[in-house]
Structure formats: structure tokens, C-alpha cells
Amino acid sequence: MANNEQTFIMIKPDGVARGLVGEIIKRFEAKGYYLRALKMMNVPKELAEEHYVDLASKPFYPGLVNYIISGPVVATVWEGKGVVVTGRKLVGATNPLASEPGSIRGDFAIDVGRNIIHGSDAVESAKREIALWFPEGLAENKPTSLQWIYE
Ligand code: ADP
């Protein structure tokens, strides 16, 4: 399994508005993953629509797009072994009431339409999302602590 797998994690407008950015970043850092990109931004409607294009036929899609563009988000890319699957575990189930306590959604959210964070669901979707949200590319970041995280 590659140590340089990447995933796209976005703190949604409710997570930003509720002051949970630091808490969320802390959890990924504490696990041993490291940041490759981070930016706060207002999301153009076309970007929100493209990000969720696979859900375009769902009845909640218009509300979902409006939610994502309702305030600034924090878009991030994280790197490390198994970060897509393990990142989803850190994030928790889509419906926060079904998310395990200890997960981000399980600890901080209630409604599926206000679930505070997005995490890529597969390596392929992570690649698509990273290219979509960071067309400018990623920063180089190779922490010296990696020798203490990987044997
Ligand atoms: P996930 O974000 O866990 O990958 P999905 O890709 O299925 O989940 O859905 C994307 C987002 O759409 C969810 O995180 C949530 O914000 C929203 N969503 C999903 N299902 C519903 C629903 N039934 N009602 C409102 N919003 C929903």
C-alpha cells in the first residue's frame, strides 16, 4: 500500500461557521497524515455542481449545492497510507446519527444535510476531486516525522 495516497477533505460551511476547522485538522494530523494543500474559499456554484455531479438526479441535490455555496469552506488534501478509507472512518457515516461516536460526524453533527465535512470515497474519486478543487497543484510537504510514523 502506497504511503503517498491522497484524499480530498472539505470542511463544509457549517463546520467552518461552527469553529470546527482546528478540531478536524487536529484529528487528521494526530493520526499521522500530513497536509498537502489547504485553502479557505467561497465555492462557485458551478464547482459545487461539478463536485456532486453523481448526485444530480437526487431530490436533495439543489439543496446540497445551496448548502455548499452558503458560506466559505476549507478545502484540504491529506496524504498517507490508506488515507482514503481511513479518512472516511475519521469522517464517519453520511448520516451523522448513524456515525460512530469518535468519528467527526458522530461527535459533531446530527442532520445528514448539515454533516460538516466531506471525504473522498475512493482513490479514483479522490484524484478527480483533488484536480477539481486544486487545479493549481499541491504544495510539496515531506515532514521529517515520517520516519516515526512508518517503519
Ligand atoms: P458522503 O458525503 O458521506 O460521501 P454522499 O456522497 O452519499 O455521502 O452524499 C453527499 C452529501 O450529500 C452528504 O455528505 C450530505 O451532505 C448530502 N446528502 C446525502 N444524502 C442526503 C439526504 N438524504 N438529504 C440531504 N442531504 C443529503
Is the predicted ipTM greater than 0.90, yes or no? yes
Residue 138 has pLDDT above 90, yes or no: yes
Residue 22's Cβ-count burial label (10 Å; 0-12, 13-18, 19+) is exposed
Mention every residue, 6+ apart, whose C-beta is less than 8 A from residue 131: none
pTM over cut 0.80: yes
Please tell me which residue in 12, 51, 88, 118 is annotated as part of the active site. Answer: 118
pLDDT at 134: 98
From atom 14 of ligand 1, which residue's Cα is the shortest distance away?
94
Q: Mean pLDDT, the chain, as a whole number?
A: 97
3-state SS class at 37:
strand
Percent of the chain with pLDDT over 70: 100
pLDDT at 38: 98
Question: DSSP state, 100?
Answer: P
pLDDT at 1: 83
Q: How far is the CA of 112 from the centre of ligand 1 (A)?
A: 6
Q: Which residue bears the cell 461539478?
A: 50
For 27-74, write each residue's pLDDT tens digit: 999 999 999 999 999 999 999 999 999 999 999 999 999 999 999 999
Beta-bridge partners for 114: none
C-beta of 112 in contact with ligand 1 (< 6 A): yes
Q: Is 118 a catalytic residue?
A: yes
